[in-house]
Amino acid sequence: MLSEQTRTIIKATVPVLEKQGTQITKCFYGHMLTEHEELLNIFNRTNQKIGAQPTALATTVLAAAKHIDNLGALLPHVEQIGHKHRALQILPEHYPIVGKYLLLAIKEVLGDAATPDIINAWGEAYQEIADIFITVEAKMYKEAAWQSWKTFTVADKQKVSADIYEFTVKPTTESGLDLSKLKIIPGQYITVNTHPIRQDNQYDALRHYSICSADTKDGLKFAVKLETAENNPNGLVSEFLHMDVKVGDVLKLSAPAGDFAQDQKLVKQNEVPLVLLSAGVGVTPIVSMLEYQINQNPNRPIVWIQTSTNESTLAFKDQVPKLLQKAKDAKSHIVYTDSQPRIDDKFLKEYIPHHSDVYICGSLGFMQAMIDHFAVLEHDNDLIHYEPFGPKMSTVKV
């Protein structure tokens, strides 16, 4: 339990964190990853470069400072981040390293304003917060479908759009896994551990990919969009998976993770419609939710909204209509952004029932835009669920 004096000091730093939080976290990552190169085998360098990860960490630190009197209020955020940590195999021994460089970054950015009292208070607060994460993640490790990394053979590789491949993988004999006993929650993702020999890469590269289907009878399915951006590692893993990995090759995966899941209380009822809204490859977890909803209760009203650049990049365009045909009351809206206006609050107001259960997935930019549009519509926040393809905390307002 933190002392009242410590909590008072932490709360006094809130204005500084609001102004300089991202500067602190950029400094933190810069020093930590320079002096601990082994952590480059874990951290996504794309999210570092575009600023998403520093922004996410800054938001987390700010949230902790604002809720220092009741850290339990952070539990939903801790659990969401914890799923990522467990999937990446972040362990308790990593936390002291993070704490050391976070305090160093606070000292460096604040300069003379970083008094010994402030540094000591944040040292105590960090340990309290780290203990919460470690406890939550220990439970996740215990409940995971398997521990550490397991090997899977690529059984199939199919193009589902011009720039997206769907991979079907099956556990190797050495993995000791039985897919028939694996329960997938629609919305979950798996994490692939690769070591691409591309772009002068020296490190392991880990990426999260959403699972396409809860049905594992043919194998575990996930989809990968080809990212191509010059002079950064954005496409490192997707290029490797698209261009180098073939049927019969072996990949390392960690167990399914994530808290993006349908409200089970609403799946079997028909009064609250289900809205599934996606952009680009963000359709991957959404299509698994559609499949699940129809299998569990095809009578529930469904609104399907999918946006893509054009028809060639529209993923699962053959599969989705077949699923929607099985639903008793389903409406579908496809938006091509190269020839139509982008989705805005007027579009959402016209096509989405006010009291509906909404699930959204897409890029960080798409997600932030949708969150802002729903705020204009004053849609019930408890009925809006989302999963951005990037650090979720970078989209959170605290």
> Which whole-number Å values give the CA distances from 179 to 45, 207, 220, 255, 257, in the listed order?
32, 21, 8, 12, 16
Using one digit for the tens of pLDDT, what is the confidence trace for 68-118?
998 888 888 889 889 999 999 999 999 999 999 999 999 999 999 999 999
Q: What is the pLDDT of residue 169?
A: 98
**According to the model, what pLDDT value does residue 390 have?**
59
Tokens of 10: 């932490």
Question: Has residue 166 got a pLDDT over 50?
Answer: yes
Residue type, 325: Q
Residue 360 phi, psi dihedral angles, 5° rounding? -125, 140
Burial of 65 (0-12, 13-18, 19+ CB in 10 A): buried
Torsion of CA 200, 363, 76, 73, to 10 degrees: 100
pLDDT at 389: 66
Measured between its terminal Cα atoms, the distance across the chain in Å is 23
Model confidence at 267: pLDDT above 90? yes
**Predicted confidence band of residue 48 (pLDDT cuts 50, 70, 90):** low
- To which residue do tokens 């496809």 refer? 334
pLDDT band per the 50, 70, 90 thresholds, residue 361: very high
Please state, in angstroms and as integers, the Cα–Cα distance from residue 42 to each residue in 33, 89, 209, 229, 233, following that order.
10, 8, 15, 21, 14
Helices and strands in the chain: count of H runs, count of E runs: 13, 11
Helix crossing, 4-12 with 52-66: angle to 10°?
130
CB 21 within 8 A of CB 58: yes
pLDDT tops 80 at residue 288: yes
pLDDT at 232: 47
Burial class (CB in 10 A: 0-12, 13-18, 19+), 198: middle
The residue type of 290 is: L
The residue-averaged pLDDT of 342-363 equals: 94
pLDDT of residue 224: 96
Q: For the residues 227-237, what does the mean pLDDT come to?
A: 64
Whether pLDDT at 230 is above 60? no
- C-beta of residue 364 within 8 angstroms of C-beta of residue 335: no
304 pLDDT exceeds 60?
yes
Question: Considering Cα of 144, then 145, then 147, then 152, what sign does the dihedral take?
Answer: negative
Q: What is this structure's pTM?
A: 0.89
Q: Which of 95, 165, 189, 386 is catalytic?
A: 95
Q: How far apart are CA 69 and CA 73, in angstroms?
A: 9
The pair of structure tokens assigned to 242 is 């698209």
Known active-site residue 4: no
Q: Do residues 106 and 41 make contact, with C-beta atoms less than 8 angstroms apart?
A: no
Q: Are 346 and 372 in contact (CB under 8 A)?
A: no
Q: Which of 29, 101, 126, 137 is catalytic?
A: 137
Is the pLDDT at 396 greater than 90, yes or no? no
Q: What percent of the chain has pLDDT over 90?
A: 72
Contact status, residue 358 vs residue 275, Cβ threshold 8 Å: yes
Does residue 137 have an active-site annotation? yes
The neighbouring-strand residues paired with 372 are: none
Q: DSSP characters for 67-89?
A: TTT-GGGGHHHHHHHHHHHHHHT
Residue 50 has pLDDT above 70, yes or no: no
Element (H, E) at 189: strand 189-194
Structure confidence at residue 60 (pLDDT): 85
